[in-house]
Amino acid sequence: MAGRGSRAQRAREEAERARLYAARTAWHERQVRRRRRDTVIAAVAGGVIVVGALVSQALHAQITAPEPEPSSTPTVPSPEPSSAPTAPSPAPSTTPTLPNAPTDAPTPVPTQTPD
């Protein structure tokens, strides 16, 4: 029994398969290069945008910063030295103070809210 086709036909089919395979691999390589290029472009553009935003904020903060105004300080008369002896200052307390220590103040009563 003879083969499925002539040798010339099989050679043409093999050549067509090889051509299609080469075309698919070339297309795939172009796609990979294009995607890599697009990724690099997007990363550079994103970096430029971020740096531009930071520079813009820094410039805006410097340009719109309010001018410092001199504040008037109240003049407190300095005590004049007197010849009378002064009382000694009290010694520091040695008892520890607790932040939530009970006090003699009355306990606050909760207010009633209208329903």
Number of helices (H), then strands (E), belonging to the chain: the values are 1, 0
Place of tokens 């945008």: 49
Q: What's the pLDDT score for residue 33?
A: 98
In a domain? residue 95: no
Full DSSP string of 53-110: HHHHHHHHHHHSPPPP-PPPPPP-PPPPP-SSPPPPPPPPP-S---TT---SSPPPPP
Q: 5: Cβ–Cβ under 8 A, 6 or more apart, which residues?
A: 13
Task: Name the domain count of the chain.
Answer: 1
Is residue 68's pLDDT more than 90? no
pTM: 0.45
Residue 73 lies in a domain: no
Host domain of residue 33: 1-65
Residue 81 lies in a domain: no
4 found inside a domain: yes
40 found inside a domain:
yes
Tens-place pLDDT, residues 19-57: 999 999 999 999 999 999 999 999 999 999 999 999 999
Q: For residue range 71-110, list pLDDT tens digits in order.
A: 777 776 666 666 666 666 666 666 666 666 666 777 778 8
